[in-house]
Protein backbone atom coordinates (compact mmCIF):
# COMPACT_ATOMS: atom_id res chain seq x y z
CA UNK A 1 0.00 0.00 0.00
CA UNK A 2 1.11 3.51 -0.72
CA UNK A 3 0.37 6.19 1.90
CA UNK A 4 -1.05 9.25 0.15
CA UNK A 5 -1.49 11.69 3.07
CA UNK A 6 0.67 14.54 1.76
CA UNK A 7 -1.03 14.58 -1.64
CA UNK A 8 -4.52 14.62 -0.12
CA UNK A 9 -3.45 17.34 2.31
CA UNK A 10 -2.07 19.41 -0.58
CA UNK A 11 -5.35 18.97 -2.46
CA UNK A 12 -7.09 20.35 0.65
CA UNK A 13 -4.72 23.34 0.71
CA UNK A 14 -2.65 22.06 3.64
CA UNK A 15 1.07 22.35 2.91
CA UNK A 16 2.61 21.86 6.36
CA UNK A 17 2.27 19.02 8.82
CA UNK A 18 1.79 21.53 11.65
CA UNK A 19 -1.31 22.89 9.93
CA UNK A 20 -2.76 19.41 9.50
CA UNK A 21 -1.89 18.60 13.10
CA UNK A 22 -3.76 21.73 14.27
CA UNK A 23 -6.82 20.86 12.19
CA UNK A 24 -6.80 17.28 13.48
CA UNK A 25 -6.63 18.62 17.06
CA UNK A 26 -9.60 20.90 16.32
CA UNK A 27 -11.48 17.78 15.15
CA UNK A 28 -10.61 15.91 18.38
CA UNK A 29 -7.52 13.97 17.36
CA UNK A 30 -4.45 15.10 19.28
CA UNK A 31 -1.28 13.71 17.69
CA UNK A 32 2.23 14.13 19.05
CA UNK A 33 4.75 15.96 16.90
CA UNK A 34 6.73 12.74 16.42
CA UNK A 35 3.73 10.72 15.29
CA UNK A 36 2.62 13.54 12.99
CA UNK A 37 6.08 13.66 11.47
CA UNK A 38 5.98 9.91 10.85
CA UNK A 39 2.54 10.14 9.22
CA UNK A 40 3.62 13.11 7.10
CA UNK A 41 6.98 11.83 5.87
CA UNK A 42 6.56 8.08 5.57
CA UNK A 43 4.17 5.17 5.37
CA UNK A 44 2.81 4.12 8.77
CA UNK A 45 3.06 0.44 9.64
CA UNK A 46 -0.25 0.72 11.46
CA UNK A 47 -2.92 3.32 12.08
CA UNK A 48 -5.95 3.20 14.33
CA UNK A 49 -9.23 3.15 12.46
CA UNK A 50 -10.58 5.95 14.68
CA UNK A 51 -7.56 8.10 13.75
CA UNK A 52 -8.02 7.29 10.06
CA UNK A 53 -11.67 8.31 10.33
CA UNK A 54 -10.76 11.75 11.74
CA UNK A 55 -8.05 12.26 9.12
CA UNK A 56 -10.57 11.47 6.39
CA UNK A 57 -13.11 13.92 7.85
CA UNK A 58 -10.53 16.73 8.05
CA UNK A 59 -9.24 16.08 4.52
CA UNK A 60 -12.75 15.36 3.18
CA UNK A 61 -11.67 12.10 1.61
CA UNK A 62 -12.21 8.36 1.91
CA UNK A 63 -9.70 5.84 3.30
CA UNK A 64 -9.20 4.59 -0.26
CA UNK A 65 -7.86 8.05 -1.15
CA UNK A 66 -5.15 7.71 1.53
CA UNK A 67 -4.28 4.04 1.03
CA UNK A 68 -3.46 3.29 -2.58
CA UNK A 69 -3.00 -0.39 -3.51
CA UNK A 70 0.19 -1.47 -5.26
CA UNK A 71 -0.62 -4.92 -6.69
CA UNK A 72 2.66 -5.12 -8.60
CA UNK A 73 4.56 -5.21 -5.29
CA UNK A 74 2.82 -8.36 -4.05
CA UNK A 75 5.16 -11.35 -4.01
CA UNK A 76 3.93 -14.27 -6.05
CA UNK A 77 3.43 -17.34 -3.88
CA UNK A 78 5.66 -20.25 -4.79
CA UNK A 79 4.13 -23.72 -4.89
CA UNK A 80 4.96 -25.96 -1.96
CA UNK A 81 7.75 -28.45 -2.54
CA UNK A 82 6.64 -32.04 -2.77
CA UNK A 83 7.97 -34.46 -0.19
CA UNK A 84 10.79 -36.56 -1.63
CA UNK A 85 9.98 -39.57 0.52
CA UNK A 86 6.50 -39.93 -0.95
CA UNK A 87 4.87 -39.88 2.48
CA UNK A 88 1.80 -37.83 3.14
CA UNK A 89 1.28 -35.94 6.37
CA UNK A 90 3.24 -33.67 8.64
CA UNK A 91 6.99 -33.85 8.74
CA UNK A 92 8.47 -35.24 11.93
CA UNK A 93 11.45 -33.73 13.64
CA UNK A 94 14.62 -35.73 13.39
CA UNK A 95 15.97 -36.99 16.72
CA UNK A 96 18.78 -34.97 18.22
CA UNK A 97 22.13 -36.64 18.36
CA UNK A 98 24.82 -35.77 20.83
CA UNK A 99 24.82 -35.28 24.56
CA UNK A 100 22.24 -37.26 26.48
CA UNK A 101 20.11 -35.51 29.05
CA UNK A 102 20.69 -36.25 32.68
CA UNK A 103 17.97 -37.79 34.79
CA UNK A 104 16.27 -35.59 37.37
CA UNK A 105 17.38 -35.88 41.04
CA UNK A 106 15.39 -38.16 43.31
pLDDT digits (tens, 9 = 90+) for 72-99: 887 766 565 555 555 566 667 666 666 6
Supply the pLDDT for residue 24. Answer: 97
Q: H-helix or E-strand containing 81?
A: none
Interval 13-65: pLDDT, tens: 999 999 999 999 999 999 999 999 999 999 888 999 999 999 999 999 999 99
What is the chain's percent helix, strand, coil content, to nearest 5? 40, 5, 55
Residue ranges and CATH numbers for the domains of the chain are 2-64 (1.10.260)
Q: Is the pTM above the cut of 0.95? A: no
Amino acid sequence: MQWNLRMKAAEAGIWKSTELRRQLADAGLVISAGKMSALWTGTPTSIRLDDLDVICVVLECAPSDLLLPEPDKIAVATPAKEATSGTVGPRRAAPRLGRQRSTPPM
